[in-house]
Amino acid sequence: MPELGLIETLADEIRTCRKCELWRQRKNAVPGEGNLDVAVMLVGEAPGYWEDVKGRPFVGAAGKMLDEMLSKAGISRRDVYITNVVKCRPPENRDPLPSEIQTCTLYLDRQIKIIKPKFLVTLGRHAASYILAKAAIETEGITKIHGKIYEASLLGFRVFVVPMYHPAAALYKAKYQDELYKDFQLLKLRLERII
């Protein structure tokens, strides 16, 4: 069981961090939340409006979509840890800059090392790019890699990386919603094999 103290200390560091310019416009940094003794860690892109207001990950419309997908796969939010590549909201929800990703992912790396999930689900292309590059896995765009499961050595331990579309993409396109649903069902099947 990962130490609660380690993750809480890290969350406090994130809440007061000023390592990149995103701190200037944030209401709240969003370190992440969830059970620490979990098999699945979900990594999104960055906080949006409601996440910034509440200081919690995936609490807006995309969060509702994520909850729905988790629920349909029989997975509770209590069974996962949820965080983002970048912990503060980029202005107007723009894409995080490469420099912001490079700076902020020191926190994501530390979270992954503390929690050591069996499955690392990346939501959207930024999370997939970062995690798969870190695992030295060459990939194509998210449309080609979602729904695949990559066994990887990452930060000193073995993990299955599962790239998926970002739930926000599924809000507006039924096709992405179907694909996200299928990918979560696949995750459920793999989880049943190891738990």
**Binding footprint of ligand SF4 on the chain (CB under 6 A):** 14, 17-20, 22-23, 29, 86-88, 100, 103-104
Shortest distance, position 7 Cβ to ligand SF4, whole Å: 15
What is the nearest approach in angstroms of ligand SF4 to the Cβ of residue 134? 17
Residue 21 and residue 125: Cα distance in Å, rounded?
22
Distance, CA of 106 to CA of 18 (rounded, Å): 13
Cβ distance to ligand SF4 smaller for residue 33 or 79: 33
129 in Cβ contact with 172 (< 8 Å): no
Q: For residues 32 and 60, which CB has a smaller minimum distance to ligand SF4 in the complex?
A: 32
Q: What is the 3-state secondary structure (H, E, C) of 90-143?
A: CHHHCCCCHHHHHHHHHHHHHHHHHHCCCEEEEECHHHHHHHHHHCCCCCCCHH
CB of 15 to ligand SF4, least distance (A): 8
Min separation Cβ 92 and ligand SF4, Å: 15
Q: Specify the amino acid at residue 7.
A: I
Instruction: Provide the β-strand partners of residue 84.
Output: 44
Q: How far is the CB of 63 from ligand SF4 (least distance, A)?
A: 19
Least distance in angstroms from the C-beta of 42 to ligand SF4: 18
Q: Which residue's CB is nearer to ligand SF4, number 57 or number 152?
A: 57
Please give the Cα distance from 146 to 123 (Å, whole number). Answer: 9
Among residues 97 and 155, whose Cβ is nearest to ligand SF4? 97
Between 105 and 177, CB nearer to ligand SF4? 105
Residue 151's Cβ-side half-sphere holds a number of Cα atoms within 13 Å equal to 2
The CA distance from 54 to 47, in Å, is 10
Q: Which is nearer to ligand SF4, 82 or 180 (CB)?
A: 82
DSSP state of 88: S
